Amino acid sequence: MDPAAPYRFRTVGIVGAGTMGQGIAITCAAAGLDVLMREKSAEQAARSLEEIAETLDRDIAKWRRTESEKRAILARVDWVEATAALEATEIVIEAVSEDLELKTAIFQELDRVCSPDDLLATNTSALSVTEIAARTARPERVIGLHFLHPVPKVPLVEVVRGLKTTDETYRRAMEFVRILGKTGIEVFEYPGYVTTRVMLPFLNEAMHVVMEGVASAEAVDTSMKLGYGLPVGPLALADRMGLDEVMRWMQHLFDELGDVKYRPCPLLRKMIRAGHLGVKSGRGFFEYDDDGNVKAKG
């Protein structure tokens, strides 16, 4: 193959059709790629497809997409019952929860059924690409593709190289990201990569400000939005990400690096124990309606 020639991607496999998997599926289908999703059961797959349709309906209501675009996207997304069906793809993206053992088990299965030339990518935001790759017979073909939520709207993808990721694999992954209309940045594996590592202390400090009674959550977010031109405040962002996910990432970085700046704020722990997980539970630092909008205070 001519190294200067573009790599061809026609079909993308996605393992895990939760929030991130759905966003990746919409993005790939909107770019003209066929998508094969793998979920635990037919019921979960059907629910994921319904949620994708609902997301597209919300986009249409906000004039972001048209009905014809919705139909085209849905026509390109399908569900497969067995992992072996992902053999038909050129790249498979794993998008399950941040559980190392679960991810490595999935990669071992993909390693058995996918062509040796296929790229295997993990959407992990903090776990080791090298450790996941080491459980396969093709560590040179494994790479991290860290999409950020909401995937269709965020134009960035962190392309994370494990210890044995080859230059060819990296180039192919960057071409895939380009096809999606996104900007990829090269990242050499280190706990938290770039975005997670830089963002978490910011979120954590905002939580400490609230816990110490310096200012309310509303005041903190307003100050950061108006004072620094941010489109969303740190606490609303944490709510969108899911406070339990933020906690998991912080704890992982604290365990990996031992730096106190990653030690989760006690207020975060308390809120999670109370079931206040952010937008997905209807309450975090703010309260939310069924559409994920902040409720006006009465």
> What tens digit of pLDDT does each residue of 14-65 get?
999 998 999 999 999 999 999 999 998 899 999 999 999 999 999 999 999 9
Percent of the chain past pLDDT 90, that is, above it, reads 86
Instruction: Tell me the residue range of the domain where 234 lies.
Output: 196-281
Name the residue type at position 274: A
183 DSSP β-pair partners = 156
> What tens digit of pLDDT does each residue of 241-279 get?
899 999 999 999 999 999 999 999 999 999 999 999 999
Q: What is the spatial distance between Cα 104 and Cα 136, in angstroms, rounded to a whole number?
A: 8
| 165 and 220 part of one domain | no
| 59 and 135 part of one domain | yes
141: CATH: 3.40.50.720
89 within some domain? yes
6 within some domain? no
| 204 and 125 part of one domain | no
4 within some domain? no
pLDDT at position 6 over 50: yes
37 DSSP β-pair partners = 14, 79
Residue 87 DSSP label: G
Q: What is the pTM for the complete model shown? A: 0.89
36 DSSP β-pair partners = 13, 78
75 within some domain? yes
204: CATH: 1.10.1040.10
| 210 and 184 part of one domain | no
| 211 and 178 part of one domain | no
1 within some domain? no
73 within some domain? yes
Give the count of domains, the chain. 2
Exposed / middle / buried, residue 269 (Cβ in 10 Å: 0-12, 13-18, 19+):
middle
Q: How many CB atoms lie within 10 A of CB 270?
A: 11
Q: Token match 């998997």: residue?
A: 21
> What tens digit of pLDDT does each residue of 82-95 get?
999 999 999 999 99
| 68 and 202 part of one domain | no
Q: What is the spatial distance between Cα 292 and Cα 288, in angstroms, rounded to a whole number?
A: 5
| 161 and 266 part of one domain | no
Q: What is the DSSP string of 66-81?
A: -HHHHHHHHHHEEEES
Q: What is the spatial distance between Cα 199 and Cα 42, in angstroms, rounded to a whole number?
A: 36
268 within some domain? yes
25 within some domain? yes
Q: What average pLDDT does the chain have?
A: 94
